[in-house]
Structure 1
Amino acid sequence: MLRIFAGLALPGQIMSSLLATMGGIPGARWQSAEQLHLTLRFIGDVDRRVAEDIALALGQVSVPPITIALSGVGQFESRGRPNAVWAGVRPQAPLAALHRKIDQAVVRCGLPPEGRAYLPHVTLARMNAASGATDLFLETHAGLASPPFTLDHFILFESRLGHGGASYTPVERYPLRG
């Protein structure tokens, strides 16, 4: 089985600015530069044949290059406790359109559609029950912003879980054109 997802790699200067914000939450597992990305569609565990079908189907996705910027920070919660902090992106509409097209390609390969609402973001850290409060981090970085940057391709990644978190290996790269 392969654990895969479609995502966008970030430019080096954007990764550097995000890495500079990381800290201030005791016990948080901060993402490394290699882990920073913007997920378009988590696909999950599939066998190799289905992964190959998905890789071919994603080649049919057509949208123009996307220009976005970082905008603010937030957190996801589970059972009333923060489990991740993230950087937001704007505008969200072009990313949502790309997400829908990727989701449609995945569904054509026999998988169910995405069940969750899509919120474009870049995960900065993951927390567990022993992690400290996120309030100060969220306050300090509420105004996080970057200059606009253009993304001209998306990537099918393989994700491998390990003791230090997940590692991501690019499987296929797809140009954004349209």
Structure 2
Amino acid sequence: MPRLFTGLELPRNVADQLSLLQGGLHGARWIDRDNFHITLRFIGDVDHGVAREVVSALDRVRHGPLTLTLDGLGSFGGNKPHSVFARIAPTQELIDLQSEQERVAQRLGLKAERRTFVPHITLARCRGLQPGAVAHWLSLRGGIMDLSFEAERFVLYSSRDSVGGGPYVVEEDYPLVA
């Protein structure tokens, strides 16, 4: 069964800039820059029939290109931080694209996503780190520059069943055209 999700790729120059932030957080498991992406909709482990339906349904999503801007760093997990990330400024266009993919998934019978969409790029997984260490890392690197880029397609990724972080494979790509 493939494990699938949709996302937006990063241009090489953006991934390179983000990779410079990595390090200095002992015990973090850093994501390889080739696996940086913005997840739009986690689909999960599905059988091959459902995977074919997902490919077909996503082919009907129509949306224009997106301008995306990195606007800071953050962490998920509160007092038990589990990841650090680069934030993407939420735009209405990005939210609309993610919402359409959520509707596609639900029409195919997949469970609704429980979590609120927070556009981000995971930089590291942080299992077992103290919140103070993560806060210190964020304070040292928190002044991330505003960095914008264009997304001209979204992709359907597959991953192996693991604890996250890749490797990810682009199974299909879908152009974002005006």
Query: The TM-score by the shorter chain falls in which range?
Result: over 0.9
Structure-2 change in CA distance of 1:64 and 1:23 (3 Å): same
The 5 Å alignment of 1:150-169 reads 150-162=150-162, 165-169=165-169
Partner of 1:176: 176
Give 1:91 deviation, angstroms. 3.8
Structure-2 change in CA distance of 1:90 and 1:165 (3 Å): closer
TM superposition score normalised by structure 2 = 0.93
TM superposition score normalised by structure 1 = 0.93
One-letter code aligned to 1:110: G
The alignment of Structure 1 onto Structure 2 pairs a total of residues equal to 177
The 5 Å alignment of 1:23-102 reads 23-77=23-77, 80-102=79-101
Q: Does structure 1 conserve the Cα–Cα contact (< 8 Å) formed by 2:71 and 2:147?
A: no
One-letter code aligned to 1:33: R
Structure-2 change in CA distance of 1:177 and 1:15 (3 Å): same
Partner of 1:125: 124
Give 1:114 deviation, angstroms. 1.5
- In structure 2, C-alpha distance between the alignment counterparts of 1:51 and 1:164, rounded to whole Å: 20
- In structure 2, C-alpha distance between the alignment counterparts of 1:169 and 1:69, rounded to whole Å: 24
- In structure 2, C-alpha distance between the alignment counterparts of 1:115 and 1:19, rounded to whole Å: 30
**In structure 2, the residue corresponding to 1:172 is in which secondary structure?**
strand
Deviations 1:104-148 (A, max 9, x none): 111111112222110000000001115681122211222212432
Structure-2 change in CA distance of 1:148 and 1:40 (3 Å): same
Q: Does structure 1 conserve the Cα–Cα contact (< 8 Å) formed by 2:80 and 2:129?
A: no
Q: Which deviates the most, 162-171 or 138-147? A: 162-171
Structure-2 change in CA distance of 1:117 and 1:91 (3 Å): closer
Give 1:50 deviation, angstroms. 0.2
Structure-2 change in CA distance of 1:54 and 1:134 (3 Å): same
- In structure 2, C-alpha distance between the alignment counterparts of 1:134 and 1:97, rounded to whole Å: 32
Q: Which deviates the most, 152-161 or 130-139? A: 130-139
- In structure 2, C-alpha distance between the alignment counterparts of 1:157 and 1:164, rounded to whole Å: 13
Give 1 or 2: higher strand fraction: 1
Identical pairs, percent = 38
- In structure 1, C-alpha distance between the alignment counterparts of 2:155 and 2:123, rounded to whole Å: 19
Structure 1's unaligned 5+ residue stretches are: none
Q: Does structure 2 conserve the Cα–Cα contact (< 8 Å) formed by 1:5 and 1:156?
A: yes
